[in-house]
């Protein structure tokens, strides 16, 4: 819990500081006087000012945002000489637009550097070796099998990109699903033999189904895992049957078992009319084959009654270290930032017109949870997570909504086209409407967070 809170505060602190520094740096470069640089809102906890009349830097109690307050005649009376020299509202339209756009662009630039740094450090990720495809899914229809190693993919059948890991594969599949496209996959067995080309058809996929369960809907339940037992709980069904840690399961009731996912499904189905049914297991232990009778115990899983043996089933998937050089890492960081920005805009657009579920909208609780998980997985994972949130923050702030940077840019576009600024009356109306929209979005995001924590989504 403490790690999660600290990781969340660090995430917010870094992203807010970079965002506001973008505004601040460009404002100073344009000759605008900056009165206050604030991280957070509410009661001031820390204050620093280099010289009287200079910028006041503060940290406030509520860390969910920040602001840069500039000298502006619209916010109060300003002496003429001071206004002429450094008031924001006196600056040319191009400079005002640049100051407003600098915050979101700073977040996108930070994401590029963070993704590049993660590539330079190297990330341990599951190898793109697939577990069994879900029955009746597009993955099964394509001809994918348990143990297939996806080596490369193509969207047009001519240009092929190497698949570095399972994470890389999932990202490419997500993009193809959003575009309702078809992916050509080059696969081999786990040892790299028997290369073949398959077509994963996602043309009929509904973009509204692009959510946390996307991979399972497509049929890719997870990475391949050997059917080997881990920790066995004393007194559980596995222990009573004589199973031990390290046992490799070869067959159950005469049916060969080739991966952990198949074994888990066999255990879950090990009941008859809700009552335990004995299973004949053939296992390998120390080079010898043993036959054991296993009696899964009934357990509740939501509304279902399933079988459990109270042992960890499956070895961790094979991992590969994905690392790139300085130039390639920077190029990939830029590419990933751009692709994620485009994907975010598409998802928001489809949520707006009802083509994607509003359940995809996440709030501070989800961010805090993922921040805690990523920081425990290592620096590279945390940098990647930080880059993801930085992209989201940058894109969201560019949306043409009043109260956001994109809303102000919308005003400036109007001013540039018509030659006059938006009237004070319309500014007030748009601000009120923007507040309502933002409150609705924040409420929905918080509801989704709570629903996820309670297992309702």
Contacts of 338 (CB under 8 A, 6+ apart): none
Average pLDDT score over residue span 12-34: 93
Tens digits of residue pLDDT in 380-397: 888 988 998 999 899 989
Least confident of 168-177, 251-260, 262-271, 304-313: 168-177
CA angle 41, 45, 48 (to 5 degrees): 100
Domains of the chain: which residue ranges?
91-122+324-457, 125-224+317-322, 229-301
Active site residues: 20
Tens digits of residue pLDDT in 125-169: 888 999 888 888 888 888 888 889 999 998 887 889 888 888 888
Residue bearing tokens 């995001």: 445
Confidence of residue 22 (pLDDT cuts 50, 70, 90): very high
Exposure string for 208-234, b = 16+ CB within 10 A, e = fewer: eebeeebbebbbbbbbbbebbbeebee
Domain 229-301 matching CATH 2.30.42.10: the answer reads yes
User: What is this structure's pTM?
Assistant: 0.77
CATH of domain 125-224+317-322: 2.30.42.10
pLDDT at 107: 96
Distance between CA atoms of residues 152 and 250, nearest Å: 31
Fold match, 125-224+317-322 / 229-301: yes
pLDDT at 449: 66
């Amino acid at each position: 819990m403490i790690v999660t809170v600290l990781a969340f505060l660090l995430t917010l602190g870094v992203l807010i500081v970079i965002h506001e520094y973008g505004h601040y740096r460009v404002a100073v470069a344009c000759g605008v006087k900056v009165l206050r640089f604030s991280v957070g809102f509410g009661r001031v906890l820390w204050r620093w000012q280099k010289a009287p009349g200079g910028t006041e830097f503060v940290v406030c109690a509520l860390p969910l945002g920040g602001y840069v307050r500039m000298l502006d005649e619209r916010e109060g009376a300003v002496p003429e000489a001071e206004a002429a020299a450094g008031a924001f509202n006196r600056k040319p339209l191009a400079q005002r637009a640049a100051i407003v756009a600098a915050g979101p662009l700073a977040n996108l630039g930070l994401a590029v550097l963070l993704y590049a740094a993660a590539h330079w450090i190297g990330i341990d990720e599951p190898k793109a070796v697939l577990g069994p495809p879900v029955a009746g899914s597009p993955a099964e229809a394509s001809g994918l099998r348990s143990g297939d190693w996806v080596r490369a993919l193509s969207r047009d059948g001519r240009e092929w990109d190497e698949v570095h890991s399972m994470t890389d594969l999932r990202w490419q599949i997500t993009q193809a699903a959003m575009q309702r496209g078809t992916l050509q996959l080059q696969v081999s067995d786990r040892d790299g033999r028997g290369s073949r080309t398959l077509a994963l058809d996602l043309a009929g996929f509904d973009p509204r189904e692009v959510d946390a369960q996307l991979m399972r809907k497509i049929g890719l339940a997870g990475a391949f895992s050997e059917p080997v037992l881990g920790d066995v709980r004393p007194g559980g069904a596995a222990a009573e049957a004589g199973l031990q840690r390290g046992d490799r399961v070869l067959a159950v009731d005469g049916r060969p078992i080739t991966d952990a996912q198949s074994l888990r499904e066999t255990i879950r189905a090990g009941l008859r009319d809700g009552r335990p049914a004995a299973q004949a297991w053939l296992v390998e232990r120390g080079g010898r084959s043993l036959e054991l009778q296993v009696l899964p115990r009934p357990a509740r899983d939501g509304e279902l009654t399933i079988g459990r043996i109270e042992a960890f089933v499956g070895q961790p998937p094979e991992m590969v270290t994905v690392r790139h050089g300085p130039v390639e890492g920077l190029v990939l960081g830029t590419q990933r930032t751009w692709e994620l920005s485009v994907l975010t805009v598409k998802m928001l657009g489809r949520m707006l017109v009802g083509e994607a579920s509003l359940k995809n909208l996440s709030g501070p609780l989800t961010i805090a949870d993922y921040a805690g998980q990523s920081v425990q997985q290592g620096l590279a994972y945390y940098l990647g997570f930080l880059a993801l949130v930085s992209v989201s923050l940058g894109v969201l702030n560019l949306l043409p909504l009043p109260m956001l940077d994109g809303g102000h840019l919308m005003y400036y576009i109007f001013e540039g086209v018509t030659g006059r600024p938006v009237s004070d009356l319309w500014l007030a109306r748009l601000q009120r409407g923007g507040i309502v929209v933002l409150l609705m979005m924040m409420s929905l995001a918080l509801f989704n967070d709570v629903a996820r924590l309670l297992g309702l989504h």
